[in-house]
Amino acid sequence: MGALTPQEQAVLRRAGFLPREIKEFNNATAVDGTPQDLNFQASNFQDMIKNRIRRVATLKKAGWSDQRIANLIGSYYSEKHRSKRSSFDFLQIEASVSAHQRPETDNSLARRLLKMSRIRASMGMSYSQGIKPTQIPKNIPRRPDL
The residue extents of the domains of the chain are 6-128
CB count in 10 Å sphere of residue 24: 16
Contact 93, 119 (CB under 8 A): yes
Mean pLDDT of the 114-126 span:
78
DSSP tag of 29: B
Mean of all residue pLDDT scores within the chain: 80
The whole-number pLDDT of residue 130 equals: 58
Partner residues linked to 35 by β-bridges: 29
**pTM for the predicted model, two decimal places:** 0.64
Residues 105, 125: Cα–Cα separation, whole Å: 25
Q: Considering only CA atoms, which of 117, 63, 53 is closest in space to residue 85?
A: 117
pLDDT tens for residues 8-59?
Answer: 999 999 999 999 999 998 888 888 888 888 888 888 888 889 989 999 999 9
Query: pLDDT band for position 99 (50/70/90)?
Result: very low
Instruction: Please give the backbone phi and psi of residue 112, each rounded to the nearest 5 degrees, phi first.
Output: -65, -45
